[in-house]
Amino acid sequence: GIANELMARGKQVKFAVSSAILKEIKDTWHEGSDYTESRLIDQLCLTEVLIVDDFGAEKISDWVNEKFYQILNERYARRKVTIFTSNEKLCESKYDERIISRLKENCYEVDFPEESVRELLAEQKKAEILKSLRA
């Protein structure tokens, strides 16, 4: 994928599902956590390329908006590359206008076919399994 290609070119890449980023932040609140919230957010802001998968799949709240704006705005200020994948179009996003504005200003929106890639891959995998069983 994109992350592997970038790493092969010597780029520092962090790949994470958006809900996992939020969970990682919440996990820093527990006593005995290896990280503080600010240290984790700093790492997300400083990594050369951040890939956020399934952006918009999480339940949107003021806290979620604030955390993603904090990360996105800092990455914007530092001119870091951020890649988002989402099943929704930017114009349909439920995020705060500040986030949408930053995304519109700094992103190229690439539309993919409506069909589910996961379903297509699952069908291919099933066909390969059946083929190997018949061999």
Cβ within 8 Å of residue 13, ≥6 positions away: 3, 6, 7, 47, 48, 49, 50, 51
Q: What is the mean pLDDT of the chain?
A: 88
Instruction: Please state, for a pLDDT cut of 70, what percent of the chain lies above it.
Output: 95
Evaluate whether the domain defined by 2-134 bears CATH number 3.40.50.720: no
What residue type is assigned to position 49 of the chain?
V
- Domains of the chain by residue range: 2-134
Q: Is the pLDDT of residue 121 over 90?
A: no
pLDDT in tens, 49-101: 999 998 888 899 999 999 999 999 999 999 999 988 888 887 778 889 999 88
Cite the beta strand spans of 56-103 per DSSP E. Answer: 81-84
